[in-house]
Amino acid sequence: MSVSTTIKVVGVKDTINALKKIDPQLQKDFRAQANEIAAPAIRAAQEVYTQIPLSGMAYKWSSNGRKLFPFSVAKAKSGVKLRIDTRRNAVGVILIEQKDPATAIFETAGRANANKLGDQLGFVGAGRTRLIGPAVYKARKAIEEPMKKMILDTARVVRQSI
């Protein structure tokens, strides 16, 4: 039996958007503070990239003129970033993502449907990733409370300013 938890702080998108309206510097400070709090999870995600998964991934690949590979451990590590997404249809607001295309392909290949690359890399369930997801979830406990506190403090500042 698996257990899952979801932390939901209502109004995060509105709070972040209000910061920009009040003072753009406040939003920049919020982003910097979120990056600082999320640093342990980002480092944990970067540390899982230690080698090239398949030898062929070290070579150039392209599809329809779009450069997809080569996979590089250095680019995989530097591709782990925090993103704040306040779009209306966004699934999450504060996300830790892999921005490097080759590493993102490695993380998700074979997830939606079976293919040769996914078969060679091994099974990954729907909605899952190979390395970054488990690494971030392990480091999640260290960042949840400080992030929640920062968001609530920021919401308090926004309410006082309005």
Does the pLDDT of residue 11 top 70, yes or no?
yes
Mean pLDDT of 133-139: 90
Domain contains 117: yes
Look at residue 107 and tell me if it is in a domain. Answer: yes
Average pLDDT over residues 105-124: 78
Q: What is the pTM of this model?
A: 0.79
In contact, 27 and 18? CB cutoff 8 Å: no
Q: How many C-beta neighbours within 10 Å does residue 154 have?
A: 21
Q: Does residue 1 form part of some domain?
A: no
Q: What DSSP state is assigned to residue 89?
A: T
H or E element that contains 156 = helix 132-161
Q: Look up residue 162 and give its amino acid.
A: I
Single out the residue of 137, 109, 144 nearest to residue 125, CA to CA. Answer: 109
- The sign of the torsion formed by the CA atoms of 125, 104, 46, 59 equals positive
Neighbours of 143 (CB within 10 A): 20
In a domain, 136, yes or no: yes
Model pLDDT, residue 75:
93
Nearest to 43 by CA among 128, 106, 132: 132
The answer to whether position 3 is within a domain reads no
If one counts the domains in the chain, the total is: 1
Give the range of the structural domain holding residue 58, as residue numbers without chain letter. Answer: 12-157
pLDDT digit string, tens, across residues 18-74: 888 888 888 889 899 999 999 999 999 999 999 888 888 888 888 888 888 898 999
